[in-house]
Amino acid sequence: MGRQQVAVRGGSIRLGQFLKLAGVVETGGEAKLRIQEGEARVNGEVDTRRGRQLVAGDLVEFGGEILEIVVQAGD
């Protein structure tokens, strides 16, 4: 499983938006469907809410990747 850090502005982001930002889904619709199907894990637990608020330090497992939320420099 690969691991990458993804910088977000403002310190928090919704799960669906984060998956698009990280480039693991193409559209918001795809994110919604895949999240509802239980494909996303946040901090080790399946989360089916695309509006789940993520903050720095959260880990998202999706599509064989581990994505760590970090605050973008300057924020």
CA 53 – CA 1 distance, rounded (Å): 24
CA 58 – CA 60 distance, rounded (Å): 7
Amino acid (one-letter) located at 41: R
CA 15 – CA 30 distance, rounded (Å): 12
Determine the 3-state secondary structure of 1 from DSSP: coil
- What are 3-51's pLDDT values in tens digits? 899 999 888 999 999 999 999 999 999 999 999 999 999 999 999 999 9
Give me the domains of the chain, ranges plus CATH numbers: 2-71 (3.10.290.10)
Query: Residue 75: its pLDDT value, please?
Result: 52
Query: Residue 10: its pLDDT value, please?
Result: 85
CA 74 – CA 14 distance, rounded (Å): 20
